[in-house]
Each structure stands twice: as C-alpha cells, then as structure tokens.
Amino acid sequence: MINKITKGLLIVVILFLLIKVSCVILRPRGDARVFLGLKFNPSQENIINQYDEETEGKYPILYSDEIMLRGENILLFIFKIPYLLYLSIIGILIIIKFKFLKNKNTL
C-alpha cells in the first residue's frame, strides 16, 4: 500500500516538475488573450505579462483563451513551487520507496 502511494505521489510530482520546466503563460500587451506556450529554457520565467512582437514565434503556442486560461490557477500554483522543493520531494519519495522495498525483502 505504501509502495503504491509513494509511486503515485512520485508520478504526480514529476509531472508537476515537467509542467514547470516546459510551460509558460504569455499575456500580450494591449490584448485580452492569454496563451499557454512551450518554453525550451527551463530557467526562464513561467509568466510573461508583456509579450511583445519581438518574442513572437519564440514560444510554440499550445493553447489560447480570452482573459484567463482554463486551469490557470493550478498552473500558477505549480509555477510558484521552487525547483528545490520539487527535487527534495522526489528524493524523499525515492528514499521511502527503497526503504519499503528493503524492509519487504528482509521479511
């Protein structure tokens, strides 16, 4: 049971980390549209409020909507969590999983 829970949590945390590393919210200047784009540099910001023509084409657009994206609050939550916390949680879950396997094999 603990093994299934840690495996599920590990998958969710890795999925959140991949979303944080690869997605960006773009808000054009003077426009009500909002875009969800794909970024190729993980160290770039996740939210760009003044999206100019200079950066047009730099981010492939995955989804767009008026005023607010569907699920934008969840994305903002994922974006606010620091990388170090994601990596720490992944490390802790892996340690728990291996300790559980070790204890299971000794019984």
Residue 54 has pLDDT above 70, yes or no: no
CA-based nearest residue to 69, from 18, 16, 20, 32: 32
What is the residue range of 96's domain? 2-101
Residue 75 lies in a domain: yes
Residue 52 lies in a domain: yes
Residue 64 lies in a domain: yes
Whole-prediction pTM: 0.83
Residue 23 has pLDDT above 80, yes or no: yes
Residue 71 has pLDDT above 80, yes or no: yes
Residue 8 lies in a domain: yes
Segments of the chain assigned E as strands: 23-28, 33-38, 47-51, 61-66
Residue 105 has pLDDT above 90, yes or no: no
Q: What pLDDT score does 33 carry?
A: 87
Domain count, the chain: 1
Cα of 3 vs its chain's centroid, Å: 24
Q: What pLDDT score does 86 carry?
A: 96
Torsion angle of C-alpha atoms 65, 71, 72, 73, degrees rounded to 10:
150
Residue 106 lies in a domain: no
Q: How does residue 106 score in pLDDT terms, banded at 50, 70 and 90?
A: low
CA-based nearest residue to 78, from 63, 89, 91: 89
Residue 107 lies in a domain: no
Q: What pLDDT score does 98 carry?
A: 86
- Residue range 28-37: mean pLDDT, rounded: 87
